[in-house]
Amino acid sequence: MTTVEFLASLKSLSIKIWIENDQLRYRAPKGVMKSDLKQELVERKTEIVRFLKQAKDVMGDKRLVTDVVPQRNLQSISQEECEKPNQIELWPSLAEFFVYDEFLYYVLTNDRRRNHSYKVAINQLVKDKVVVDIGTGKDAILARFCAEANARKVYAIEMSEKYYNSAKACINKLGLADKITLILGDATKVNLPEMADVCVSEIVGSIGGVEGAALILNNARRFLKEDGVMIPARSITKIAGVCLPDEFLQNPGFTEIPAYYTRKIFEQVGYPFDLRLCLRHFSKSSIISTSSIFEDLNFTGMIEPEYSHEVNLSILKDSRLDGFIVWLNLHTIEGEVIDVLEHEYCWLPVYFPVFSPGIQVSQGDKIEAICSGSLCENNLNPDYKIEGYVIKETGEKIEFKYYSYHYKNDFEQTPFYKTIFSQYVFESNINNSIKTAIT
């Protein structure tokens, strides 16, 4: 039983746990805490504290753990661990799959920097306007921002009945039902009672187009008046060569929470596959080349969903080339840019492990490549490819080709993926959510 499942089982029994003076404490209904369960709780103390601290770290505050690990004791429990520099964490690319739950929605809703950048655009564009929000989510956060900015009317579309109901409860509780009208359905199929002036959305992923933004927002133009505008205005995804820390490459793998969502994605798709990988706590110091544009989606007009173009990179220092980092620069409005390498956002940079093991390169070496995106079998989400040459100053040319598929049934097809998946058994049955376990 994983830590998540164990915590979920305790919650289902109405057992509360916390750490006090470095001791594991519990409160349980009479007769529930049997001796074998109590012993297992004691034996799992270290992993429980580690897991809850990781969850707190991902959330960016202590809300998840204040009832379990009192804030005043967090540092004393593991002061040495807290003082260590952040290590790179491997995560699956989440945005392109329907695995959002209470935990992920909380992370999204409480991304303060992301919210600020959206508010900058919203506050300039929506006053006295009609707004349509594509994919409003359980907290209807962007719709609420529009209402707060004095939009005349907001139509918020949500496809999930569960999160439609959550958004409805949230809007009613905040007294915004007169300003925000919720619509249950697929944004590509529903209709609005009137034309909108502004379309606001957050259907970009760690690579801007992974969720199908090109096709969805092309379709959403039917909601807009002739002079209607889009928020965000543009998504530019950049690419550069990287040399990752040896300690990460020697033992890459998922910690418990990312592993949980990896299993969840595999369960949803129906098979394990070499999913896109993101890096948390990635440092810009690992970049060893100039950067270029990997994908450019300009939402001010119609977007071509498929593309192919050249990129040229120059190696900046003698190093080892392990692959490429690909990261989002989201322009909510001209002059307001979310660069996910400048601060930590709910979006993480994507890692393409092209060379495993890495290859030695020298300052002045060149990379000439073709980057392309094409729709996968579902005609919505893109597959990506980068192919080309590392051209050394000596004249040697090293050819490479790398595919990053949305959900193609390929598993452990490269040395890097074989390494990360060899350590795990991904169960086909996931019965509990993070929300059940830690709220």
What is the DSSP pairing of strand 196-201 with strand 130-134?
Answer: parallel
**What are 18's strand-pairing partners?**
25
Residues 115-137: pLDDT tens digits?
999 999 999 999 999 999 999 99
pTM of the predicted model as reported, rounded to 2 decimal places: 0.81
Look at residue 359 in the predicted model and tell me its pLDDT. Answer: 97
Q: Say if CB 170 and CB 138 are below 8 A apart.
A: yes
* Separation between Cα atoms, residue 50 and residue 177, nearest integer Å: 41
* Separation between Cα atoms, residue 136 and residue 143, nearest integer Å: 7
Look at residue 54 in the predicted model and tell me its pLDDT. Answer: 57
Look at residue 66 in the predicted model and tell me its pLDDT. Answer: 30
Q: Say if CB 223 and CB 217 are below 8 A apart.
A: no
Residues 210-259: pLDDT tens digits?
999 999 999 999 999 999 999 999 999 999 999 999 999 998 989 888 99
Look at residue 439 in the predicted model and tell me its pLDDT. Answer: 38
Look at residue 94 in the predicted model and tell me its pLDDT. Answer: 93
Which residues of the chain carry a pLDDT beneath 50? 59-84, 427-439
31 Rama class: left (phi>0) / alpha (psi -120 to 50) / beta: left
Q: Do you know the residue count of the chain?
A: 439
For each of the domains in the chain, give its residue range(s) and CATH number, in order of start. 3-84 (no CATH), 102-231 (3.40.50.150), 235-421 (2.70.160.11)
